[in-house]
Chain A
Amino acid sequence: MELGTIEDPSSSTFTLSEEDHTLANSLRFALNQDPRVTFSGYSIPHPSEARVNVRVQTTGDPASEVLRDSCQDLMLMCQHIRSTFDQAVTDFTNEKGLKDMDIKK
């Protein structure tokens, strides 16, 4: 993973190696939802290279900071998704367990 920056820290391109649409598309979503971002997009320069370029332009804050916050947001969302999912599965199995017992009676 490397970082390509010019003098202006508010717009940068980040190169994420060993990543693809999976992370880049989710990141672009999180970035675009941040009010500090004026533009963000990603591209895969060549399909046989495992690498994505993520472009971030902000209203003034350093782009790397905004990218970090977006990653943080994504992580929090993931954690919430995981706990909600686990809860839903437990609820479902409990309910099913009860129903199965009714049948046996």
Chain B
Amino acid sequence: MEKGSVWDLPDVPEGQLPPHIQLQRTRVHCNSDAPTHTENVQYSGAYSSLGVDNSLQLEQFRKNFRVDVIRLEKEEMEFDMVGIDPSLANAFRRILIAELPTMAIEKVLIANNTSVVQDEVLSHRLGLIPINADPRLFDYKSENDDPKENNTIVFKLHVRCERGSPRITVKSDELKWLPNGSEFSLETSAANSTSKPKTYTSFHTSQETLHDFSKKPIAPCHPDIILAKLGPGQEIELEAHAVKGMGKTHAKWSPVATAWYRMLPEVVLLKEVEDERAEKLVKTCPVNVFDIEDVGKGKKRAVVARPRGCTLCRECIREDEFKQDIALRRVKDHFIFTIESTGALPPEVLFTEAVKILEDKCERVITELS
């Protein structure tokens, strides 16, 4: 072959990335040994030698950003978030898990517990029960604050298994909300028996009169969580005080069972896969990503029908047979986000709250700087 001069080579087109670099920039390549091009190019001048501006343009972002809701139920939702950097998607996930406040039982006053479940184990179980109170209506209670109607929710639990009756199972619906606060009186107040005996909380008004708690009384989200089992003659009497907190202090305050995302899988057939090979390929995939299409004249061809279901198990490129024919990739800026709420707030509200929290964080930095 005749060697040409470099000067005769065509110019690299200005203002756009060559296709292979564009592919590396926007896709993770999942090869059979390991994924490559997993990094994200963030630096604004990364492609300046090619005349491509990689900086953040809000207009561009506004045009490309998209949200598609796939599934929305009472406690669970799935949606696609397209056109966003993983650092932001991850920030939302982290906030959902650790920085959104909820109400959870923090203090348990045990008057009597003769069940086989020890006090501390029972308290821990109580702490993990999700409570259907909107945390936005309550304040944080700090160490020195008195437990008041705006920072504490009080529940009572009193169950007894009579002698001669069969064993009973104590479930979370036994937790009865006390809108007027604690009913246990402080021992010291017995001496000066003036008007009302002092209790462990100092509520001024009944919580029932606040907000619209009377329409939607506070209770555990699920009535059938097993707390303990009682044998004949055993009894539990206690009071549980719930306060507002965040998931980073303890997981019981996390409003989500979990929140996660995955990048959209992309399965591409680089070459035609036909007839018997097509049938074989369809059988290889455990989640049925491929389908067979008739192209007429008795010929069949494999097509990628459900790439979204691909689990990237890489079964299809394990053997040499299809290694050259299939490209498995992930789209770097397409996130399939799933939120499972524990029940206090619906998942869509949780997500908007999470975005608001990130906004607040930015605002805090701005005010500190100016």
- Enumerate chain A interface residues (CB-CB to B < 8 A): 1, 3, 16, 19-23, 25-30, 32-35, 37, 64, 67-68, 71-82, 84-89, 91-93, 96
Contact = CB atoms under 8 A, between A and B. Distances in A.
Contact of B43 (A20, A32, A71): A32
Contacts of A91: 69
B91 A64 contact: no
Contacts of B364: 1
A28 B42 contact: yes
If over half of B's interface residues share one DSSP class (helix, strand or loop), that class is named, otherwise mixed; here it is helix
B348 interface: yes
A64 B88 CA distance: 22
Interface residues of B, number: 45
A89 B72 contact: yes
Given A85-B351, A86-B352, A1 B99 contact: no
A78 B355 contact: yes
Contacts of A3: 369
B355 A32 contact: no
B355 A85 contact: yes
9 closest A-B pairs by CB: A33-B56, A92-B69, A32-B42, A88-B67, A29-B87, A71-B362, A1-B368, A25-B87, A78-B359
Interface stretch (B57-65, B124-132, B261-269): B57-65
Nearest to A75: B362
The CB with the most chain B CB atoms within 10 A, among A29, A72, A89, A96, is that of A89
A26 B361 CA distance: 11
Contact of B91 (A26, A33, A34, A92): A26
Contacts of A84: 65-67
Given A1-B365, A22-B95, 6 more contacts: A23-B91, A25-B90, A26-B358, A33-B42, A67-B365, A88-B68
B56 A73 contact: yes
Given A33-B55, A85-B352, A75 B359 contact: yes
Interface of B: 42-45, 53-56, 58, 61-62, 65-69, 72, 79, 81, 84-85, 87-88, 90-91, 94-95, 98-99, 348, 351-352, 355-356, 358-359, 361-366, 368-370
Contacts of A16: 365
A84 B362 CA distance: 20
B124 to A, nearest CB: 24
Contacts of B72: 89, 92-93, 96
A96 B366 CA distance: 41
Nearest to B92: A81
B56 A30 contact: yes
If over half of A's interface residues share one DSSP class (helix, strand or loop), that class is named, otherwise mixed; here it is helix
Contact of B361 (A22, A29, A64, A87): A22
Contacts, number: 122
Given A22-B99, A86-B352, A92-B72, A73 B58 contact: yes
A14 to B, nearest CB: 8
A81 B90 CA distance: 14
Contact of A68 (B66, B87, B369): B369
B147 to A, nearest CB: 25
A20 to B, nearest CB: 8
Contacts of B67: 81, 84-85, 87-88
A79 B363 CA distance: 12
B42 A77 contact: no
A89 B56 contact: no
A92 to B, nearest CB: 4
A22 B97 CA distance: 11
A89 B58 contact: no
Contacts of B58: 73, 76-77, 80
Nearest to A30: B56
Contacts of B62: 80
Contacts of A29: 42, 85, 87-88
Contacts of B95: 22
Nearest to B361: A23
25 contacts: A19-B361, A21-B94, A22-B95, A22-B99, A23-B365, A27-B365, A28-B87, A29-B87, A34-B44, A34-B55, A35-B44, A74-B358, A78-B355, A79-B359, A80-B61, A80-B62, A82-B356, A84-B65, A85-B352, A85-B355, A86-B352, A87-B67, A88-B67, A88-B69, A92-B69
A89 to B, nearest CB: 5
Nearest to A54: B365
